[in-house]
Structure 1
Amino acid sequence: MGVAVCSLKWEAVRSGAQRIIYDSDGYHLVRFPYGEAEESYDPWKMHDPAGGDPAPAFPDAHSGLITPSHDGWGVLSALVFWEADSRPRDYRARFVRDPLGESTGYDSTATTDMVPTSGGQYRSYTWAMFVKRTTPVGLKISARGAGGAGVAAPLMLAEFKLAIHTDVITP
């Protein structure tokens, strides 16, 4: 069975702080550098700025996308480290098909909501679903304060990975 993998990583200590920008859905699309930066692995060019006009650049919204190289069974995983912050009352994450609404339409799945712990907030997420070459996927996050409003809590690290099992057997 073949597996195509894209593994992205961003760290504040290497790339500087990531400005948290909440979209109309109350979530921030996490951005990742292009190329070999930050221990990224992308031989199938699923996180590639080439082909855009103009070519996207980190940290624009397109740098938050993985566009599957194959149709297949995709396993999405993410790791998010938030700095300790007393303002958020909960931390949320979700995987989204077409988060920019440019192909098949925004479709979120696997939304997770957790209350803060007493120190830094370290979260990992996993979800499996069918992916298509025509539909990019993204990782969206939110830190919410009193009343549910988004809080620009600082991120320390984020990773986003997609492993596509290309030989899906159908009956």
Structure 2
Amino acid sequence: MATHVCSLKFDAAKDGGPLSVTPGEDYHLVPFPYAAAESYDADDMHAETWDGTAHPFPADPASALIRPAHESWGRLYAMIQWEVASGDEATELRDQFARDPLGTLDTTCTEHRRASPGMQCFAKAWAIFVSPDVPLGLRVAHNASGSLNVVLAEFKLEYDA
């Protein structure tokens, strides 16, 4: 039995600027860069051309997906850092894991948090069954009066198979 890991990281300072998230009830997938910009993906679970078509970061929503290589009991991890904004502060910051976010959406581990003083940094972990047929994504939302920026995000899948 081997441990399989896909560890993705979005860093606004290195990846073309922040992810601007419009306010409202709609959640937004967090895209992640490919190849050398990835933290670790030995099993190619975050491939730009998984279906023979290019899915460029950050324009294509498919750049947000991890596609598990095996069926297994998996552990998801995420870290999200929102930019501190003046004038457009949110009273609630939201995040969730999503199964098949571009198809038949099924969400899990949804959290709504009150904004805290200072930097808005959140980490989470959740365990679920994973399958190669069901891609996974990390989604965020907020209720500020204007757009807020995600400046750093990590999304990880770990499982044994």
TM-score if structure 1 supplies the norm length? 0.85
Give, in whole Å, the separation in 1 of the partners of 2:148 and 2:92. Answer: 11
Deviations 1:80-122 (A, max 9, x none): 0111124211111100000001xxx110001011101111100
Shift of 1:152: 2.0
Give, in whole Å, the separation in 1 of the partners of 2:40 and 2:82. Answer: 23
In structure 1, the partner of 2:93 is 91
| Uncovered stretches (5+) of structure 2, i.e. residues with no partner | none
In structure 2, the partner of 1:157 is 152
- Which structure has more relative contact order (CA 8 Å, sep 6+)? It is 2
Deviations 1:67-91 (A, max 9, x none): 0001001100000011112421111
Please tell me the root mean square deviation across aligned C-alpha atoms, in Å: 1.9
Q: Which moved more, 1:112-121 or 1:48-57?
A: 48-57
Kindly provide the amino acid, as one letter, of the partner of residue 33 in structure 1: P
Kindly provide the amino acid, as one letter, of the partner of residue 47 in structure 2: D
Name the structure with the higher strand share. 2
Change (3 A) 1:25 1:108: farther
**Secondary structure of residue in 1 paired with 2:14:** helix
In structure 2, the partner of 1:17 is 17
Shift of 1:17: 2.2
Give, in whole Å, the separation in 2 of the partners of 1:57 and 1:7. Answer: 18
In structure 2, the partner of 1:114 is 113
In structure 2, the partner of 1:169 is none
Deviations 1:31-59 (A, max 9, x none): 0001011x521010000012434311101
Structure 1 contact 79–159 (Cα < 8 Å) conserved: yes
Dislocated runs of 4+, deviation >6 Å: none
**Secondary structure of residue in 2 paired with 1:62:** helix
Give, in whole Å, the separation in 2 of the partners of 1:19 and 1:144. Answer: 16
Q: Using the aligned pairs only, state the percent identity.
A: 40
Within-5 A mapping of 1:134-149: 134-145=133-144
Kindly provide the amino acid, as one letter, of the partner of residue 159 in structure 2: I
Kindly provide the amino acid, as one letter, of the partner of residue 107 in structure 1: D
Within-5 A mapping of 1:36-55: 36-37=36-37, 39-55=38-54
Change (3 A) 1:115 1:25: closer
Structure 1 contact 80–155 (Cα < 8 Å) conserved: yes
Give, in whole Å, the separation in 2 of the partners of 1:133 and 1:31. Answer: 19
| Uncovered stretches (5+) of structure 1, i.e. residues with no partner | 167-171
